[in-house]
Amino acid sequence: MVELFRDFWWLMFPLAAVICGAWDQWMKSRTRADEMRVLAAYAAAGKEPPAELLRALRRDPVEG
């Protein structure tokens, strides 16, 4: 097992990058779901969501 680690320790970097990418997508997906819930609340109240809110939601939550 130790020998295997010595030969393939570098694999930790691409694996960590893949895990980070998946985590990032998960965060984005949850953020979008939360944003949709807010818009649904406005729709249920029969009100137009504020333009500022729509502008903020149009931004990519990760890119900023």
Partner 1 sequence: MEDLFRNFWWLMFPMAWFVVEGWNSWLKYQARRDALKLIQAYAEKGQTPPPELLGTLSGVTAADPLLGDLAATGSAAPSTTNWGWYQVALFGGLAGGFVFLARSNILGDEGLGDAMMVAAVVLGALALASLVYAITWKRPRG
Question: What is the spatial distance between Cα 13 and Cα 23, in angstroms, rounded to a whole number?
Answer: 15
User: d(Cα 64, Cα 54) in Å, to the nearest integer?
Assistant: 14
Distance CA 37, CA 50 (A): 15
Q: How far is the CB of 28 from partner 1 (least distance, A)?
A: 7
Interface with partner 1 includes 11 (CB under 8 A)?
no
Q: By three-state DSSP, how is residue 59 classified? A: coil
Work out whether 8 is an interface residue with partner 1 (CB under 8 A). Answer: no
Residues that bind partner 1 (CB under 8 A): 2, 5-6, 9-10, 12-13, 16-17, 19-21, 23-24, 27-28, 30-31, 34-35, 37-38, 41-42, 44-45, 47, 49-50, 52-53, 55-57, 59, 61-64
